[in-house]
Structure 1
Amino acid sequence: MQTSMQTSMQGFLSPAKSLPMSPPTPGPTDARTSVNHLLSRAHALPCSKGALAFNQLVQPTARFQLALDALLPILDSTTPAELASRILVSFILYTLYAPHPIAVNPFKSALFGTYLSEREKAVSVANDGGTSPNEQLVWVLWKILRGNGNDIGPYSPSTLARSPLPPKLRAINLVLDDSLYNTIPDLDDSAYHYFQHKRGQSAPSDTNEFTQIPSRVVSPAYSLERDKQNERQMFAVKLLLHARERVLNLSEQRTLLPLLPEVASSRLVTSIDIAPIVAYNPSIAHPLFVSLVSNPIPENNRPMPFVEVLPYLPPTLPTFDLFGRLLRDPTRITVDTVEGYSTVADLVRIRVLGLFIQQSIHWIEQAERDQMEGKISDDRWEKGLQHLCRFFLSLIKLQIIDPSSDTDCAEICSFCLHYARFEEANTLYRVIMMSGSNY
């Protein structure tokens, strides 16, 4: 469907020519004044150029606040602003967080609120047989909210504002999928209520003012705090993406740790993220997994895909570090899908630990064969063997595993006998055999 829409647009839109931006005025210039100047003269430039100019004018740490102060008022339909300016502002708000899904964009509710308001007006005019001048803005917002905002980057705001839309791209035919915005409470932030309140003020009322139910209005202090919270969550998601590729420094870890419960409930974490996060940041992987299992919101509880990943992690030091933390974690489990396990420690011990030991043995044996065949030249399997034996010994000392139980120790005993030439395997075997005495 998206391809057909893009094809339809090619017939009535042509990319605008890139006009060179004049150099900024020398001397200290207020950022907000510069942005207002940009918005007034960038209508002939491609939207992507306008967004790039905004990023060059405003420091990264000031962009969010300036977007609240200077861009959101232009997006509001009650503010006198050209259609081209509102299109450009919509695109800038989108590109500020474009590398990430629109669902985590803190301005998504403002864009969605504007879309609802403008589409309602356009549909009303269309039902009367006319064409609303804001049809193009509705289409732009529709593209952005579907995550396809980059498609309008090559076109200038003035071109988008003047170009007529084909019938199938009229506002009356542009409906967002329910899967994108499940319920209105999902958009329950300050920007959404700001625009809802504006719509309530401008809409005519045929009821008595004393019987009319007042709309919810969020105070500016709450609005700013809510938006800053969205900004922090967005930053936490970015840090979590970095945690898959490198070790986070202490400052980044301190920033991310308090926000992990929110990130875990955002549905942005997938099971394939666990292994790289464990490899680089086991101290982050532990609270992240706990948050995934103990989330108090039932619809956000999806622990089983993450539980099923744990047994297949490689027997490396970070993996054993993670298991050591999880096996001693007393956090209560609130997930219905893992009934029978009262704590995180119980879940990992009963559901995961046995299979993890088994898979670790298979991993070590396979790595040894790969080394003998010349496929690898490092000592990963020797290190894995040593770590596994030490880990199992610590489980015995912590009384997590009963050394007198054949069920718990039969396979590891056979493993230790096979690799008895290693001191760690020999020591573990003797401890298990002497389980009846005080060692």
Structure 2
Amino acid sequence: MTSTPTVPAVPLPARHSVGCPFGPPPAYTEAAATANLSRAELPGGESCWLATGYAEVRAILSDRRFSADLRHPSFPLLIAGSRERIGENPNFLNLDDPEHARLRRMVTGDFLVKRVEAMRPDIQRIVDEALDGMTAGRAEADLVADFALPVPSLVICLLLGVPYEDHEFFQGISRTLLSNTRPFEELLAARDEMLEYLEALTARKREEPRDDILSRLAVRDDLTPREVASTGFLLLVAGHETTANMISLSTALLLDRPEQIARLADPAAVPGAVEELLRLLTIIHTGVLRVALEDVELGGTTVRAGEGVVAMLSTANRDGAVFGGADRLPADELDLDRDARRHMAFGFGVHQCLGQPLARAELQIALATLFRRLPGLRLTVPRDELAFRTDAFIYGMRSLPVAW
């Protein structure tokens, strides 16, 4: 069965506009209100499908008939003019099995729950030291620059074996790479610069290996230096940008909903509160990209082989049929007592985020410690003056001026 959409195609990537800064761009929520599967238009003019409902997004991400390999000639791309070179040096996030599984399993052990739990004292120390530095001799700060960004950057550097003194370099490169407005050639140059840096670091690790991820990968004979660098690239960029944005967005949202902050004072309630924040603030606002390898029926619609699909995690995580209910606040509102464990903020299926145990631990420790140590934390500007990163593939905040 094939449906014929009667609503205009949604232009991708959609932009934020005036309104609630904590939700997805209005074009996506409007599409979700009309149908769980609709048409969209990519920057190059090609047409694709836009999946906004929870069931449809989950089905796409768990069905191997939808490919994550961006080298596929019909893969939906959000950067115009990028098809000729976008598939160079792919990391395992953008590969299908068996290539994906071969590369991913080499680092899976470093992110297992047991390993991350053993890191909690180190994470707590990093959080405490960041707060000590932020509050020393002053009563206000930019929470992004002074806390939200340094904490996950220090943690991922510790895990990977990347020198933290290089953080300004890789954070600057990350900002360029995650921009959805910069010219494609500029993105390529930034990517190549990061890969060259990581290849050089890998070479040093091979000569003098230590107890870190890059060292363990560097000494393997079944990986090329570029494969090690590509894997390190993914873990380094994703490992600090996503968590940094979640820390700052979560703080801003909680300061806008102060009646719910008290829940973080109960250690037993913190994990559930973090799941609700992950659900509501899902920061991958551009969606997860896939291409159909064969005809697939999806919610009564046939997606044809070769058609692109954008699975919108942010709207799926606000699906009232899944996260609503008579005893809960609406799904587009914050409810720290909600059971949000079925959310897909980390994706779903074989490609779901490898680092989710680490991200959860960092968020739980960072947010609980922040509000415990600074009970008077407050914004120093009105909410409508806050600066959000509306031009990036990962949503977040440019700055968060606070006082205590």
Common fold: TM-score over 0.5: no
State the structure with more CA Rg.
1
Which has the larger share of helix? 1
Q: Normalised by the size of structure 1, how large is the TM-score?
A: 0.23
Which has the larger share of strand? 2
Q: Normalised by the size of structure 2, how large is the TM-score?
A: 0.24
